Amino acid sequence: MGFEIARKGGGLAGASSPAPSRPLLLERLGTARRALREAVELDASSLEIDTLGAALDEVVGLERATAAIKAKVVAAADRAGLAGSSGAVDTIALLKDRARMSGRDAKRTVDLGRRLERLPSTAAALADGELGVEQAEQVARAAHTGRLGMPGQVEASLLESAKASTPEQLRDEVKRRELDADGDRLLKDETLAHSRRSVRTGWRDDGMYEGHLLLDPVSGEAFDTVLRAFTTFDAPDTPDELRRTPEQRRADALVQAASVALDAGEAPAVGGEKPHVSVVVAAHTLAGDDGAPPAELAWGGPISRTALQRILCDASVTRIVAAGASQVLDVGRATREWSGSQRRAIVALDGGCRFPGCDRPPSWTNIHHVRFWRHLGPTDLANGVLLCVRHHHLCHEGGWKLTMDGHTRIVTVVSPDGRTRLTSEPRGIIPRTVTTRRRTG
């Protein structure tokens, strides 16, 4: 007859021990995910036009509900300190590592989660699909700034309008209300715009370097003036296939401006040295031997022989020779301090902070003695690894233990509670292309 629910004790008659139950939230999320996965397998193209419209409405509603629960869970993780227990700098870094999110999306998610905790009606409207994610962000942002009053007041005055507005319409309405509430709003907005300035850059999978620029109006005018000053135009007789687009002309102007700044030798020091463009090249590559591996930019990957020859024509470029009679890179116990040539080599090898999940660039890092200097660790490449300030602190004062294979440069870290995390291969050049000489006297 099967199991029967016991009258007393709340267990199952005949069961030896109850199976551990998952938290209800995880059960509900798992069920929803399985249902969505099954829906993905169904054929949407066979639906009638009216049914497609209804399906679109459902998908949009699901997207908004998902954003609401994501914001709620992220806020809970942020409040509980999940990032710190995982060795991440903050919750944004945790999302970038764990969810493979961009920094921009991770910050938006964290900001929305934190702010919706104080705006229950906005969170409910988002979960019910009445409010888009962008509108929820704008209501939350307006409530967060305090320009229109206390968070609850702002929510009550904006929410219904937000439900009926596009993001652009809602942004204009918030701006209008803020100007009505504060006659000095324009000056304050300019100050805020300056505080929001940012430049995001990085290497793409295809080897291209891309970035995003955000400047306040005055700074933007200065930047645009420099860009226009270095912009050149194609000669009238330039063949069509060689003519540049406006975007290409601006890209060339930016590179030319950067080259002028480097050549002037007045840029601030990075890691104790004036900035250089570093090319890592094996000796037999430099000699032009057939079959030799390509040279590599310290941060940007392999380049052709033609590009290498062009770069080497510039005397202001530092060359890191990866074999043969090179600069001394291993100094053993002679000194605790890392030399400029050692830093260039380790930057070329590691490409940034090597702590698992961290993407801080080389300019944000220090060289860490894997085997501590006080424990007789040498000042050699095989014992040096790039760590940002946060993770350098964790390895010295935070109780985390870091080891590194000196040949492959694979890093292993163990948290204070004994959990082990392994890095992937370093982001720089392949370690085996570098050979070093130890100073003997």
Q: What is the mean pLDDT of the chain?
A: 80
Is residue 423 scored above 80 in pLDDT?
A: no
Phi, psi of 212 (to 5 degrees): -130, 135
Residue 309's pLDDT is 67
Q: DSSP per residue over 208-260, as a string?
A: -EEEEEE--HHHHHHHHHHHHHH-----TT--GGGPPPHHHHHHHHHHHHHHH
pTM: 0.51
- What residues contact 329, with CB distance under 8 A and at least 6 apart? 341, 342, 345, 380, 381, 434, 436, 437
Decide if 172 contacts 147 (C-beta within 8 A).
no
**Maximum average pLDDT range among 78-87, 190-199, 294-303:** 78-87
Mean pLDDT of 406-429: 81
Compute the distance between CA of residue 359 and CA of residue 427 in angstroms, rounded to an integer: 10
Residue 9's pLDDT is 38
Q: How many CB atoms lie within 10 A of CB 368?
A: 24
* Strand ranges in 87-224 using DSSP code E only, listed in sequence order: 198-203, 209-214
- What residues contact 221, with CB distance under 8 A and at least 6 apart? none
Mean pLDDT of 237-241: 79
Instruction: Name the β-bridge partners of 301.
Output: 297
SS3 365: strand
Is residue 44 scored above 50 in pLDDT?
A: yes
Residue 277's pLDDT is 63
Pair of tokens at residue 137: 């962000």
- In the chain the first and final C-alpha atoms are separated, in Å, by 88
What is the signed CA dihedral for 140, 144, 149, 154, rounded to 10 degrees? 10
Phi, psi of 270 (to 5 degrees): -125, 120
Express as a percent the part of the chain with pLDDT over 70.
79
Question: Tell me: the pLDDT tens digits for 102-143?
Answer: 988 999 999 999 999 999 999 999 999 999 999 999 999 999
